[in-house]
Amino acid sequence: MKRTAWSRREFVRACGAFGAAAVAFDPRSLPRVEAAGQSVARMTPEEVAREEFYWREIQLAFKLDRELINLNNGFTCPMPRVALESVFRYMEMINMLPVHYQGMVAGNSETLRRRMANEFGCDAEEMALTRGASEALQIVQNGIDLEAGDEVVTTEQDYPRMLTTWDQRMRRDGIKVTRLQFPVPATQDHLYSMFEKAVTPKTKVFHFTHITNLTAQLFPVKRLARLARSKGIVTIVDGAHALGHFPFKLRDLECDAYGVSLHKWLLAPLGNGCLYVRRDMIPRFWPLQAAPEQQDGDIRKFESIGTHPWAIRAALGESLAFHQAIGAERKAARLRYLNMRWVEALKSNPRIKVLTETKEPAEAWGVMAVTIEGVDVRELAGWLRRNYRIVVVPLVGGAPPNSVFDYQALRVSPNVYTTLEEIDTFIEAMTVAAKEGVSDEPDPVPAYPADVTV
């Protein structure tokens, strides 16, 4: 018979040989998280998502400011303490004698490449380690050969930095950039159809997000990749908010290139990213910085940037191990459980509108967007920060100057260290805001950026 709730005594007993030791372990240690995992090994991800004793162990693995409620984890996430301490350890090692130890730490990259490829489903020779999604995507955006008149099809809701990159190529090379618009939320069929209808004989690139940074709109990546390949079109996918967020394998997407920020959902140190390029496509893209000709078909050419922050790169290994200790399926189920808790509580309020698809099967996990009718989201974000110490990001419009995207929402993104109490505080705050409105009194704390699309 399946369980959905455990007593604390049952939880410790279920750890078996790990049980007694687990409570003695320092909360920063990965073994404690692994031991907690033993206690829920027979439970489904959905059951684990509701097991608060288990998630308390995960919460203890982070050093956080609990005076604030962080619901903007779609920006940059805190790393677990085991990764934070790893950064310090590697920095100290390198600092003792850089010319000696830097090379030793740099040698970890090949191990990390293999581990990342194994975890996320590609060949190690298709995985480049970068400093973030912007760098990863700009490598392929600027690295693909395009001529005047060639067309790139993207959307108004793609990440602003990536749209700016295509705009620069438009000015520099005379290419055409077509930005498609779509409602939020949109169906998978609608998204596929709009790309299909946009194809012309001049279309050379599809560029779109796996899930958008605005409302976490999920795109049909595999279908679009197959459509593109049938017409000789290259697919570049922005996966900044997807990898480490919910389970999938890169090879199964069938796209040509995929860029990621690992300091988001993989909880890696700031300055870690990766770029997947399908092996036979590697020679098609020039690196961002020059690499020798003999590396034309080598994924490592995309890592040629000069001196790396090697300590930050090496500590990626601890964040990956932490992610693996939880498990991708459990993590995704917990994120969805946290978000659906407030969605279910607020959806009957006629003034509150959720702009993310929440139906089953799941199309959204840790990121959702919401508005209150008649309330400016910038004022709402300041009011939440001022009165409830809740940190959320208000998103307004599409940042590039020539964008026609008219958009306003709060993006809500909890993470594995978010507590039910924090979610319930958000529910209370939104209920009050919808009923009474928000005041326009001066904000006594530094204003949170009002129009940042991150």
Query: What secondary structure, in 3-state letters, does 194-261 show?
Result: HHHHHCCCCEEEEEEECECCCCCCECCHHHHHHHHHHCCCEEEEECCCCCCCCCCCHHHHCCCEEEEE
In a domain, 129, yes or no: yes
The enclosing H or E element of 44 equals none
Q: Does the pLDDT at position 231 exceed 60?
A: yes
In a domain, 441, yes or no: no
The answer to whether residues 206 and 284 belong to one domain is yes
Last residue of a domain, one of 271, 289, 319: 319
At residue 270 the predicted structure's pLDDT band, cuts being 50, 70 and 90, is very high
The answer to whether residues 243 and 313 belong to one domain is yes
Question: What confidence score (pLDDT) does residue 318 get?
Answer: 96
Domain total for the chain? 3
The answer to whether residues 295 and 334 belong to one domain is no
Last residue of a domain, one of 319, 351, 375: 319
Its domain, for residue 345, covers: 330-436
The answer to whether residues 423 and 342 belong to one domain is yes
In this prediction, residues 208-217 reach a mean pLDDT of 93
The answer to whether residues 288 and 152 belong to one domain is yes
The answer to whether residues 314 and 359 belong to one domain is no
In a domain, 69, yes or no: no
Q: Tell me, what CATH number does 340's domain have?
A: 3.90.1150.10
Q: Does the pLDDT at position 182 exceed 80?
A: yes
Please report, rounded to a whole number, the percentage of residues in the chain having pLDDT higher than 70.
Answer: 88
Contacts with 318 (C-beta within 8 Å, 6 or more apart), sequence order: 30, 80, 82, 83, 86
In this prediction, residues 311-323 reach a mean pLDDT of 96
- Length of the chain, please? 454
At residue 108 the predicted structure's pLDDT band, cuts being 50, 70 and 90, is confident
Distance CA(99)–CA(417), nearest Å, equals 38
In this prediction, residues 239-265 reach a mean pLDDT of 97
Tokens of 242: 């997807």
Sheet holding 368-372, edge to edge: 352-354, 368-372, 408-412, 393-396
Question: What confidence score (pLDDT) does residue 98 get?
Answer: 92
Q: Does the pLDDT at position 250 exceed 90?
A: yes
Tokens of 284: 């098609």
Tens of pLDDT, residues 410-423: 999 999 999 999 99
In this prediction, residues 312-336 reach a mean pLDDT of 96
Q: Which residue has the higher pLDDT, 28 or 75?
A: 75
The answer to whether residues 119 and 22 belong to one domain is no
Question: What confidence score (pLDDT) does residue 214 get?
Answer: 85
The enclosing H or E element of 80 equals none
Q: Does the pLDDT at position 452 exceed 70?
A: no
Q: Using only C-alpha atoms, what is the Rg of the chain?
A: 23
The enclosing H or E element of 6 equals none
Question: What confidence score (pLDDT) does residue 443 get?
Answer: 52
The answer to whether residues 149 and 100 belong to one domain is yes
Q: Does the pLDDT at position 106 exceed 60?
A: yes
At residue 215 the predicted structure's pLDDT band, cuts being 50, 70 and 90, is confident
